[in-house]
Amino acid sequence: MKIRAVKLRITTAQGEFGFKFEFSRGLTVIRGSNSSGKSTLYNTLIYGLGMEELIGGKGEKVLNYAVKEYFVQDDSRVNVESSEVFVELENTSGRSVTLRRAIRDSVRQSKLMEIFDGAHLTECTELGTPRPTYLFDPGSAQKQEGYFQFLEGFMGFQLPQVPATNGSLVKLYLQTIFAALAVEQKRGWTDYIANIPFFGIRDARIRVTEFLLGLGVFERQAKRAALDADSMSIDSDWRKAYDILRQAANTNGIVIEGISATPVSRFDPNTVMLVKSDGKTKTTLLDRVGNLRAEHNALGEKADAYGKASGAEALQELEATSNELQRLSVLHERATTNLTLQRAALDELRLLLAEASEDLERNKTALKLRNLGAQMEVEVATDHCPTCHQSVHDTLLLGIVTGPQMDLNTNIAYLDSQRRMLQNQINGAVEEIRQSEITVSDVATRLAATHDYRNSLRGDVSTGVAESRAIVRRQIQIELELSNLQAFNTQAGVLMLTFGEIAARLAANQAGRRALPKESYSDADMLRISLFEKYFRSNASSFGYESADIADIRISLDTLTPILSELELREIVRSKLQETSLTADSSASDFVRLIWSYLLALYQTSATAGFEGQHPGFLLMDEPGQHSMRSASQRALLQQLIGQRGLQAIIAASFDEDESVFMTATAGLNFQLIQWEGKVIQPLNA
């Protein structure tokens, strides 16, 4: 993308004021003194692009008062009635658009960005009907009406989803990319990619570098994110099916064996057992159905012979039923008591786990403090008295407890194993309680049915009816239970097929994960990073970097920033407490040279044939000659920028307000110069 021109139009009672400048496709140097409005021009351009967050805020408040309140013209104060900025852009396909954004306006807000087709500033085409878009509000980077969504498409980008600090995924917003393309004067030279707006992106600087270099991490991250989402869906579907099966089983007093509560990649429905338990013995579902049918048939035969039966047989049946009722009552009491004891044991285990976890955290904290003390050379942290320097035992129980005592590391390992053991016991106890609850429910159901049967038998004996109401009642109970069990068996069969499908999905998910590279960067990515490193070192050498041996500089694979002996190269900062402690390895001016080298190397790598990245092909720099930078270094920067084919560079610089410095830095170079007399805001018809 190329920035063709910028225009500021200010309406006042004295007429229209402002400025209009066109930019070269190569290097454009904006030269002006510190009070002439050079930064006003630069910041207005950034505002016109909708990227003022890089300057430090949103909206017109980031701009100088001269473009929105008043300015001085011929020693008189001129009040601003309204103001707006135009920016003309051209993309790689040759399409031109003109952006219009209000700065001060009674109708249009600064969140409105109007887009006109055509080159209005350079070719004087008619503005026509604008396409209104909005900035900063939710959806401006996703919706069709959003300006950042438009600009993303205009630049040919398809910005990826990246990890956020809260664990979710968030878009790599266009403003973060522009932080590596536009460097403002005040805070822009404090980091390799400074002033990245906060969008909750984890390691935003690394993500921006990866994107511009065209590394393949985003494709892998997208695949991994898709696998993660599928994994969550698999887990949810499995647990949902398991809960349905368990709830239906609990209703029918059935215990499920041989199936995991969490997804598995290998599932055989033949290994799943559905059993009925009375607390002592277990009966499979099929055997239970067979037993019920046999009992139903026996009751039918008994009903046919009931009229011929003697009173003694009826009394004998009543006695047998009473004995069964008594047995079930005892069994129910035992099962209920056992369930109560299991719940009490679970509460005790949870209490022990909480205590073990608390002790573990305390020991870890103590070890951390001790290690920090040892690093600070605190003698007590190394088990020595700071006064007499004698050995100090690391325990408060010396003389109370005999025998060997555990140190912090051993104690942490022991408590961690205790915690894991207790957690396993809790998991087992929870499963036992669930099984006991099913048993209690089943015995209670059988107890109620037997109680009803006994009452019916009593009625039969007392009335001497020809047809047994007890047999009929029991047959109805059996038929109802058979109907429920058959319905459950059908439902369980369908769920077994569901479990098989989910297991197959999990197996495919695991295979997809195994196919992903284990390393963060692929071999192709490593070649790009190696090329980026070579360009960086070459640039640093040409810019006159002297704070360290350039041959020893590397690009860290962890941060994608330059390192020297695993220390990130930065400005020298000396500690007041320890003068020999260095947090970085570069002087202030040399660190700025490193930033030049870094930003330029991003483009050089992206523009190299066979290593094409996603750099849009332009750089904006406000006062790159920081910290009294030598004119030779500034000249080297301009030479490098001119030498990059396809790169548009717009440099705003004062050159220390020294004509000789400017001439030394630019002599013999082919570039477009923008400068003016007095203030940058002048009558537009001038």
Give the whole-angstrom CA distance, residue 370 versus residue 228: 39
pLDDT of residue 568: 66
pLDDT score at 488: 84
Identity at 401, one-letter amino acid code: V
Check: CB of residue 95 under 8 Å from CB of residue 10: no
Give dist(CA 633, CA 588) in Å, integer: 14
Q: Compute how many other C-beta atoms are within 10 angstroms of the C-beta atom of residue 220.
A: 16
pLDDT at 364: 85
HEC secondary structure over 493-553: HHHHHHHHHHHHHHHHHHHHHHHCCCCCCCHHHHHHHHHHHHHHHHHHHHCCCCCCCHHHC
Residue 575: Cβ within 10 Å count: 10
Residue 249's SS3 state is helix
539, 264 Cβ separation under 8 angstroms: no
Q: Where are the domains of the chain?
A: 233-515
Q: Is 652 helix (H, G, I), strand (E, B) or coil?
A: strand
**What per-residue confidence (pLDDT) applies to 303?**
66
Distances (CA, A) of 504 to 241, 243, 260, 262: 15, 20, 15, 14
Q: Which stretches of the chain drop beneath a pLDDT of 70?
A: 277-280, 303-315, 373-406, 457-470, 565-586, 627, 686
Q: What integer pLDDT is reported at residue 468 of this predicted model?
A: 62
∠ Cα 607 610 612 (to 5°): 40
CA distances from 653 to 43, 66, 190, 371, 539 (A): 13, 20, 17, 50, 20
User: Which residues sit opposite 277 in a β-bridge?
Assistant: 282
C-alpha radius of gyration, the chain, whole number: 40
Inter-residue contact 673 to 31 (CB < 8 Å): yes
Integer Cα distance of 609 and 612 in angstroms: 6
pLDDT, tens only, 436-452:
887 887 788 778 878 87
Q: What number of residues does the chain have?
A: 686
pLDDT the model gives residue 573: 47
